[in-house]
Structure 1
Amino acid sequence: MSIRRLPIALLLLVSTAASSAPAPWYWWTSKVDGSRVCRQTGLGEGWTQEPVAFKDARCRLRLAPR
């Protein structure tokens, strides 16, 4: 990469990082006993994700639909 293109590459990298949002939180329900956990990522095959997304780790503040 030439030195002239370096500032452009850095600007693109910074603007991409600044526009990213945190991952949403979801209720995950156990297929075994029905217990629920609020997480951003899945817990494995024994869990199903509920469709409503949340902003917070307690799954209280819903995200606005896009």
Structure 2
Amino acid sequence: MKVLFVCTGNSFRSPVAEALLKSLRSDITVDSAGISPASAIAPNAQRLLEEENAAQYLKA
């Protein structure tokens, strides 16, 4: 199964959803994208994923 999360900037919602799903299900191919992608993930998204032990699933 493949899942693609899409949001406007790909700086919070879709990368957080991608990382959380990857942390829960290694059998699913997950990616995220943005309509007008930002240059970096939002700092509060990074903190949230660190709190959830899912930051390692963020794209480099």
Q: Same fold (TM over 0.5)?
A: no
Q: Output the TM-score relative to the length of structure 2.
A: 0.26
Compare CA radii of gyration and give the structure with the larger one: 1
**Bigger share in helix:** 2
1 or 2 for the larger relative contact order (CA 8 Å, sep ≥6)? 2
Q: Output the TM-score relative to the length of structure 1.
A: 0.24
